[in-house]
Structure 1
Amino acid sequence: MSSVYDFTAETIDGQPAPLSDHRGKVLLIVNTASKCGFTKQYAGLEDLHRKYAERGLVVLGFPCNQFGQQEPGDEAEIKSFCSLTYDVDFPMMRKIDVNGPSAHPLYVFLKKQKKGVLGTEGIKWNFTKFLVDRSGRVVDRFAPTVEPKALEGAIEALL
């Protein structure tokens, strides 16, 4: 696999979602959770989506329950929460694992492309963010503590 476009996910509604559908776009890929201290970042992610979508940014949310069991709901509950609480309009995917033997292949790839602190690959917590350029190359990784608004400069540079 040479780019994120080689992977397929499933939408939160269970439909195939080839990342190649976003070829030529800048992607912000985020593992999310509804009951986390960082959950309020949904608002910032939606702001980025609304501000930059017309210029080619796609935010992709991947719910994950691996950190403190902070995404316990099923896809219908997650979709409802995101819509009703944060008016999320960016694409949300089916709940996945991002670490361990059942990690989604996309996340295995992302972690190898951009390692974390001290060269570690594992995702440390919810709302870790990966920024991908228009050619499908992973260009940066941001910790959960980095607010979405702080990514605007990096996003602008790729648009």
Structure 2
Amino acid sequence: MTELLRSWLLGITCAAVILALANGIMPEGGVKKMARLTGGLILMLAILKPVLTLKTGSLPEYFQNYQETMQEYELELEEGNSILLADIIEEKTEAYILKKADELGVACEVRVRTETGEDGIPYPYRAEIDGDWNEALSESIEQELNIPASRQTWSGKKDG
């Protein structure tokens, strides 16, 4: 497609340069006027060449292919955006839990996993905590992040 556009623009440019040179060397009078008219028609043909060479059936086919390609790109973009959004939500949620753990004096490492809701937006679904279980942190995760204790995995021992 870009090669076609490039050759079309090159054809227009060459025609315009040749016509400008011819116009510059022509003597004034009727010959110059006739040359300008002819040159204008040649330049118009160079501009309209892609339209004149189109097959009548190829234009709808081209637009159909273009539309299908754009739909494929749109789907790929949506999938990529969804993955990026899930990664961001996981990172922000992990940082939030680590901050809350630090406030409570709990030493741990955190991994959060997301799931995509019916609306297509990912949300924090599961928390994996490498550290001893802490009731206050577990309740905070459940209340503030809506990750119930059943979806919290603790690698350490339970308190008391």
Common fold by TM > 0.5 = no
Greater per-residue strand proportion: 1
Greater per-residue helix proportion: 2
Shorter-chain TM-score tier: under 0.3
TM-score computed with the length of structure 1 as normaliser: 0.21
Task: Answer 1 or 2: higher relative contact order, Cα 8 Å, separation at least 6.
Answer: 1
TM-score computed with the length of structure 2 as normaliser: 0.21
Larger Rg: 2
